[in-house]
Amino acid sequence: MGGLPDVVHLSQRQAADVPSPTIHEWRPEMSTETNKQIARSFLQSVDDLDFEAWRATAAPDLVASANGGEVMNREEFEGMVRGITGAFSNGRHIIESQVAEGDRVATRLTWTALHTGEFNGVPASNRPVRVCGDSFDRIENGKVMEHHAQFDAMGMMVQIGAVPVPG
């Protein structure tokens, strides 16, 4: 049959002999819900400015990136986050939705804050920002091992008056 894998050609009898995973062999509900909670805690600790709690959820060998930029280690990423939280007060990650499969968690979120300090050379505007984004995490042994975020950086820069409104 034209190069199809052998598994496609199993008879009904052969297919019936293939064991199915049981709830004891594979428990996605428990592990994915736990992983989603860990990803939420990772974000919540930033909102709370609780970097001790953040370090408790971030693996020592965390790798992270934002908007496709350079991959950072835990210390570099924490420095970037501290720079953002120093320029924006009252930051809140609003979780719009989360999907998890195995050790991966995808989070759709909206981040709100007030621009109260210098950010990338832009003086405080005291304007509120509302930025949509996504984060993709890999959880291992109860810690965030990988964190990759995408967010509307241009929209944020427009909101703080750093660039003109497109149009």
Residue range 66-97, pLDDT digits in tens: 999 999 999 999 999 999 999 999 999 999 99
Average pLDDT, rounded, for the chain: 88
> Which of the following CATH numbers is that of domain 27-159: 3.30.429.10, 1.10.540.10, 3.10.450.50, 3.20.20.70?
3.10.450.50
Element of type H or E holding 54: helix 51-57
CA-based nearest residue to 135, from 100, 109, 103, 102:
109
Confidence bin at 17 (pLDDT 50/70/90): low
**Other CB atoms closer than 10 Å to residue 25's CB: what's the count?**
8
Q: Supply the pLDDT for residue 9.
A: 42
CA-based nearest residue to 155, from 123, 105, 115:
115
150 in Cβ contact with 128 (< 8 Å): no
Per-residue pLDDT averaged across 107-123, rounded?
Answer: 98
Q: Which two tokens stand for residue 92?
A: 């809140």
Give CA–CA dist 73/64, Å, rounded: 6
Q: Supply the pLDDT for residue 87.
A: 98
Q: Which two tokens stand for residue 20?
A: 């199915």
Per-residue pLDDT averaged across 141-155, rounded?
Answer: 97
Per-residue pLDDT averaged across 143-147, rounded?
Answer: 97
Q: Is the pLDDT of residue 10 over 80?
A: no
Q: Supply the pLDDT for residue 32.
A: 93
Q: Is the pLDDT of residue 116 over 90?
A: yes
Q: Which two tokens stand for residue 29?
A: 């509900």
Of all residues in the chain, what percent carry a pLDDT higher than 90? 79
Alpha-carbon 161 to chain mean position = 27
Per-residue pLDDT averaged across 140-147, rounded?
Answer: 96
118 in Cβ contact with 86 (< 8 Å): no
For the chain, list the strands marked E by DSSP.
58-66, 88-101, 104-115, 128-140, 143-151
Q: Is the pLDDT of residue 26 over 80?
A: no
CA-based nearest residue to 72, from 144, 148, 137:
148
Give CA–CA dist 100/111, Å, rounded: 20
Per-residue pLDDT averaged across 122-129, rounded?
Answer: 98
CA-to-CA dists, residue 1 to 6, 11, 13, 16, 109, angstroms = 10, 14, 20, 22, 47
pLDDT tens column, 30-42: 489 999 999 999 9
Confidence bin at 28 (pLDDT 50/70/90): very low
